[in-house]
Amino acid sequence: MAPRDPPHASEADLAIAAIEEDIVLAKLHPRQRITEDELLERFGLKRHVVREVLASLERMGLVERRKNVGALVRNFTAREVKELYAMRELLEAEAARRMPLPPDADALERMADIQRAHDKAVERKNLRGVFRANLAFHRALFALTGDEVLERAIAEYARQTHAIRFGTLASADYRERSRREHWEMIQALKAKDRARLVALCRAHLRPSRDAFLEQRGAGEAG
């Protein structure tokens, strides 16, 4: 089944999730200002809740707040992008090395169910569904490590790159590549092919990094 919002999500949680999606789906762009008044009107929240939402988004690395300016969608230098993705590659490759092979059969079937939902979202060009199913797939994948600290670190650095990924999520070729690589990861898990799994986890990160750097005129990422 396709992932849904948490059953007991607060109004603030739902607002945070909506803004997160807007950033990933390029409805909000790097350096774009997000005002309290806009959020008050859009979500019908009290001002103190709106301020909590902006503070949470800042902690998540999605926005930055500046004195006399307010909240802006976070922007990145080429160096920051390279460093963030280098850290993600280290963490996710290490996770792939720690996973038991083959994993529990039930866990593999849950991943396949999530991926079928991802396939459907890709087919229907449902970008919100693609984004949410992709998050769910990677949560399930890295949960195989059984290392909650490593899982949280991976999730944290992945979240910080949301504003970098908009160019690839909008690309049909990228969505198809991502979908295909997910199934290849599942097959590598089943086949106990750790070298292939590690290589896939590394390669899976690079298109969004390279697309962002190319858009910023930074050339190829090294």
Domains of the chain: 11-73 (1.10.10.10), 78-215 (1.20.120.530)
Q: What is the pLDDT of residues 72-89, one digit of tens each?
A: 998 889 999 999 999 999
Could you tell me if residue 126 is left (phi over 0), alpha (psi between -120 and 50 degrees) or otherwise beta?
beta
Q: What is the pLDDT of residues 40-75, one digit of tens each?
A: 999 999 999 999 999 999 998 889 998 888 899 988
**Tokens standing for 195?**
């070298």
Is 93's pLDDT higher than 90? Answer: yes
Q: Where is 214: in which H helix or E strand?
A: helix 194-215
Q: Residue 172: exposed, middle, or buried by beta-carbon count in 10 A (0-12, 13-18, 19+)?
A: exposed
Q: What angle do CA 188, 129, 133 make, to 5 degrees?
A: 30
Question: Can you give the pTM of this predicted structure?
Answer: 0.84
